[in-house]
């Protein structure tokens, strides 16, 4: 794969994904047998602690590198809680807590849930639609504390997990917490940016899925023949593919720019602009690109047998996580409308 081949970590990850979770294998798999071996390889190679600085026991990639690793995971529609565990370990380290082995799942309750921690370290509230909730060895929750945001480590056994399913058939569970004692907790510090980190992670996964969708759809159009020629020779199909390419490009650009912003440690309005733009634009791109990819594939693309749905359904499902397009658009719109006509351009031009 040409992209990011300069980055050895991404190349390693890419190899693991294609060896252990090749798209076609996964599409045929009914009982998730491949997952255990994929997870083992992911953990053994340190991908789950990629975002954690070396001093805190991690691999110490820059956030930009770590997000491009997640873009690679998106290209393979990786269906183990890799992004989740990476984010959770990042949050633990950022709050000065010990990182952990095993599957970790972050609880980012905003915008539609809420978690609070009291002075005794008891956590109460609900976190709706938690990807891979049921698989967590521990939860890493962003809670409102008496003196500001707190990162709390929770034992899933002390929570009530209501199972649900995402559009992509991955687990999407509600986590109810009623006074569960935190196993560890600390003021969030820089980990208060967990919502921005998580949204940027999803944006990058979507961008990766779109890159692969583009590749697969262009290839399919060149192979598939109708009316005695490859369908790629029809101008209508070419224009659909051009639009798919454009949406893919927009997603890559938006997700990459947000990753770069977090990597530089920027905060405030600039960070909100970048993250909101990435989540909104990648969500929109996921929708447009999936539609085109399916249209160009014809009937074969809507079979369970064909791997396309791994990319399209995951990209669409990722729109829902850590704030939808509407959620982030509203936050960004509130910022811009409060600033007035003269503040918009300086904000855009500061990037």
Partner 1 sequence: MNVALRFDPVRLPDHCQDLRQEVRDFLREQVVQGVYDPTARSHGYEDICRFAKAVSERGWIGMAWPREYGGQERSFLERYVVSEEMLVARAPTRRYFVADRQSGPTLIRYASEPIKQRVLPQIIAGEAMFCIGMSEPNSGSDLFAAQAKATKVDGGWRLNGAKIWTTGAQHADYMIGLFRTSQPTRENRRHGLTSFLVDMHADGIKVSPIEMINGVMEFNEVLFDDVFLPDENVIGEIDGAWKQATSELAYERSGPERFLETFGAMRAFLTAVEGTDDTRLQEGLGRLIAQLHTMRRMSVSVAGMLEAGREPVTEASIVKDLGTVWDQALPKELRTLISLMDYDQYDVQAYRERMDFYTRMAPKLTIQGGTTEILRGIVARGLGLR
Query: Whole-angstrom Cα distance, residue 74 to residue 204?
Result: 7
Which is closer to partner 1, CB of 160 or CB of 351? 351
**Of the ranges 92-100, 116-124, 135-143, 249-257, which one interacts with partner 1 (CB under 8 A)?**
249-257
Shortest Å distance, C-beta 112 to partner 1: 15
Shortest Å distance, C-beta 97 to partner 1: 30
58, two tokens: 């991690």
Which is closer to partner 1, CB of 226 or CB of 242? 242
Which is closer to partner 1, CB of 20 or CB of 212? 212
Helix (H, G, I), strand (E, B) or coil at 180: strand
Kindly tell me the burial class for residue 45, based on how many C-beta atoms sit within 10 Å of its own C-beta (0-12, 13-18, 19 or more): middle
Query: Whole-angstrom Cα distance, residue 203 to residue 37?
Result: 26
Shortest Å distance, C-beta 3 to partner 1: 6
Tell me which DSSP letter residue 141 carries.
E
Query: Whole-angstrom Cα distance, residue 241 to residue 304?
Result: 23
Q: Which residues contact 256 (CB under 8 A, 6 or more apart)?
A: 67, 68, 204, 207
Asked if 351 is part of the footprint of partner 1 (rule: CB under 8 A), the reply reads: yes
Shortest Å distance, C-beta 67 to partner 1: 11
Which is closer to partner 1, CB of 180 or CB of 272? 272
Helix (H, G, I), strand (E, B) or coil at 301: helix
Shortest Å distance, C-beta 75 to partner 1: 8
CA dihedral of 132, 138, 142, 148, whole degrees rounded to 10: 170
Peptide bond preceding 331: is omega within 30 degrees of 0, i.e. cis?
Answer: no
Tell me which residue of 5, 11, 101 sits closest to 52, measured CA to CA: 101
Out of 9, 281, 309, 319, the residue judged to bind partner 1 by CB under 8 A = 281
Asked if 28 is part of the footprint of partner 1 (rule: CB under 8 A), the reply reads: no
**Of the ranges 38-46, 95-103, 109-117, 210-218, which one interacts with partner 1 (CB under 8 A)?**
210-218
Shortest Å distance, C-beta 306 to partner 1: 19
Query: Whole-angstrom Cα distance, residue 193 to residue 65?
Result: 18
Asked if 246 is part of the footprint of partner 1 (rule: CB under 8 A), the reply reads: yes
Tell me which residue of 60, 101, 322, 340 sits closest to 201, measured CA to CA: 322
CB atoms within 10 A of CB 317: 23
Asked if 260 is part of the footprint of partner 1 (rule: CB under 8 A), the reply reads: yes
Q: Kindly state the number of chain residues that form the binding site for partner 1, as judged by CB under 8 A.
A: 60
Asked if 160 is part of the footprint of partner 1 (rule: CB under 8 A), the reply reads: no
CA atoms within 13 A on the CB side of 348: 7
Which is closer to partner 1, CB of 170 or CB of 274? 274
Kindly tell me the burial class for residue 159, based on how many C-beta atoms sit within 10 Å of its own C-beta (0-12, 13-18, 19 or more): buried
Asked if 320 is part of the footprint of partner 1 (rule: CB under 8 A), the reply reads: no
CA dihedral of 72, 77, 81, 84, whole degrees rounded to 10: 60
CB atoms within 10 A of CB 36: 11
Out of 167, 184, 288, 330, the residue judged to bind partner 1 by CB under 8 A = 330
Which is closer to partner 1, CB of 127 or CB of 193? 193
Asked if 68 is part of the footprint of partner 1 (rule: CB under 8 A), the reply reads: no
19, two tokens: 């060896």
Out of 10, 136, 153, 273, the residue judged to bind partner 1 by CB under 8 A = 273
What residues numbered 83-142 form the site for partner 1, per CB under 8 A?
Answer: none
Out of 85, 168, 205, 257, the residue judged to bind partner 1 by CB under 8 A = 257
124, two tokens: 């109460």
Out of 212, 306, 309, 319, the residue judged to bind partner 1 by CB under 8 A = 212
Residues of this chain that interact with partner 1 (CB under 8 A) are 1-3, 75, 211-212, 214-215, 218-219, 221-222, 232-233, 235, 238-239, 241-243, 245-246, 248-250, 252-254, 256-257, 259-260, 273-274, 276-278, 280-281, 284, 325-326, 328-334, 336-338, 340-341, 344-345, 348-351
């Amino acid at each position: 794969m040409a992209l990011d081949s300069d980055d050895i970590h991404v190349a390693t990850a890419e190899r693991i994904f294609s060896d252990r979770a090749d798209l076609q294998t996964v599409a045929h798999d009914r009982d998730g047998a491949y997952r255990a071996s994929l997870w083992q390889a992911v953990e053994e190679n340190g991908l789950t602690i990629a975002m954690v600085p070396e001093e805190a026991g991690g691999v110490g990639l820059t956030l930009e590198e770590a997000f491009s690793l997640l873009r690679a995971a998106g290209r393979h529609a990786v269906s183990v809680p890799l992004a989740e565990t990476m984010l959770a370990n990042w949050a633990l380290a950022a709050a000065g807590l010990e990182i952990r082995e095993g599957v970790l799942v972050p609880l980012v309750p905003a915008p539609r849930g809420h978690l609070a921690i009291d002075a005794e370290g008891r956590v109460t509230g609900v976190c709706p639609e938690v990807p891979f909730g049921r698989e967590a060895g521990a939860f890493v929750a962003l809670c409102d504390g008496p003196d500001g945001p707190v990162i709390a480590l929770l034992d899933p056994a002390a929570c009530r997990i209501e199972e649900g399913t995402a559009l992509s058939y991955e687990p999407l569970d509600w986590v109810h917490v009623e006074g569960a004692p935190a196993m560890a907790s600390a003021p969030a510090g820089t980990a208060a940016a967990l919502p921005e980190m998580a949204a940027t992670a999803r944006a990058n996964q979507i961008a990766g899925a779109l890159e692969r969708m583009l590749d697969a759809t262009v290839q399919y159009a060149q192979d598939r023949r109708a009316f005695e020629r490859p369908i790629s020779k029809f101008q209508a199909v070419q224009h659909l593919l051009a639009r798919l390419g454009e949406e893919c490009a927009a997603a890559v650009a938006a997700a990459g720019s947000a990753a770069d912003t977090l990597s530089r440690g920027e905060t405030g309005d600039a960070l909100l602009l970048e993250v909101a733009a990435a989540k909104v634009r990648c969500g929109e791109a996921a929708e447009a690109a999936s539609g085109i990819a399916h249209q160009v594939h014809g009937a074969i693309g809507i079979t369970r047998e064909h791997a396309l749905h791994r990319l399209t359904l995951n990209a669409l499902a990722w729109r829902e996580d850590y704030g939808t397009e509407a959620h982030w658009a509203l936050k960004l719109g509130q910022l811009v409308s409060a600033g007035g006509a003269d503040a918009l351009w300086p904000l855009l031009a500061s990037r």
